[in-house]
Structure 1
Amino acid sequence: MSRTERSQQPVSGWAVGGITFAATMLVIIGIFHMITGLAAIINDEFFIRVRGYTFDLDTTAWGWIHLVLGILLLVVAFGLYSRATWAGVSALFLVVLSAVDNFFFIPYYPWWSLLLIGLDIWVIWALTRPGAIRT
């Protein structure tokens, strides 16, 4: 089947619903990252520092990482709403990065990080369904 034949086939309602779900979840995850980032930037003492943690980053640095990642996730989410292929690929990359970022952030805020990792996995599932991202 050629590329033009594939692009002319109708997209299933499930795939469109999955993309809309993923985009909406990315907006929520992006806002959560921005809230976490701003909390760490504004009040450096908000998160408790764990002694002896291998990845001992300053909480302000974590804040900037979360804030930038949150903004990027919002941009990609709005790209997904427009069904742009670049947004689907970028969303997969950023949501994996978000999960890894939250894994390293577990000692600072465990339940919040685990919640975001779960949401990230849910978005990965929605984006990798057949027909979700069309090339």
Structure 2
Amino acid sequence: MSSPTGEQGSTSGAERAEQRRAPEQGREWAVSHARSSSRDANWLAFGGWMLILVGAFNLIAGLAALFRPDYYVVGAGELLIFDFGVWGWVWLAVGLVQVLAGAGCLSGQAWARIAGIGLAGLAAIAHVAFLAAFPVWELMLIALSVLVIYALVVPDKDATA
């Protein structure tokens, strides 16, 4: 029998069996997946629920800015926001769209992932304006927004929750 290199030689039965099994092993390696689709779905579901949670927090912040503008008052020159009424409406709009985008992420909509990533980034930047009033709360919301961005970016584009 000839060897794979074309040379004549004596091969044992074990070597011949291994040579016959080699293509099967190659097929097993070829069909293995690098990423788990369930892991992608889990990240996307987590991102969707976290986006809903952050959106709810922003809705509450908007309502507080509208109905209790004195709630955000700190020392002169320490807050970056000037008109709490307008800011309250902005937070209400952002929070509502975040909740809707979170629900869209849970249903597997691509537009919702893109909107969620953008809104989470804008919300993280906007929360810097309130750092002087509520430093721990605002840092937590910034961290949650960054976590939402990560959870929505990590899964493949065709992943569904």
Does the pair score TM above 0.5? yes
* Alignment pair present for 1:98 and 2:123: yes
Residues 121 and 13 (structure 1), Cα distance of their counterparts in 2 relative to 1, 3 Å cut: same
Where does residue 44 of structure 2 map in the other structure? 19
Question: What number of residue pairs does the alignment pair up?
Answer: 125
Which among 99, 102, 108 is matched to residue 74 of structure 1?
99
Deviation string 1:28-52 (CA, Å, 9 cap, x unpaired) is 1011001111011011111114422
Q: How do residues 14-93 of structure 1 correspond to structure 2 at under 5 angstroms?
A: 14-53=39-78, 55-93=80-118
Structure of greater relative contact order (alpha carbons < 8 Å, 6+ residues apart): 1
2 CA distance for matches of 1:67 and 1:107?
A: 21
Deviation string 1:27-82 (CA, Å, 9 cap, x unpaired) is 11011001111011011111114422473422222222211110010010111011
**Counterpart AA for 1:22:** G
Residues 12 and 25 (structure 1), Cα distance of their counterparts in 2 relative to 1, 3 Å cut: same
- Deviation, 1:11, is 6.8
1 CA distance for matches of 2:105 and 2:89?
A: 24
- Deviation, 1:84, is 0.7
Gaps of 5+ in 1: 1-9
Residues 46 and 59 (structure 1), Cα distance of their counterparts in 2 relative to 1, 3 Å cut: same
Where does residue 4 of structure 1 map in the other structure? none
Structure 1 or 2, whichever has the larger Rg, is: 2
Where does residue 158 of structure 2 map in the other structure? 134
**Counterpart AA for 1:42:** F
1 CA distance for matches of 2:106 and 2:114?
A: 13
RMSD of the alignment, in Å?
A: 2.0
2 CA distance for matches of 1:41 and 1:125?
A: 31
Where does residue 5 of structure 1 map in the other structure? none
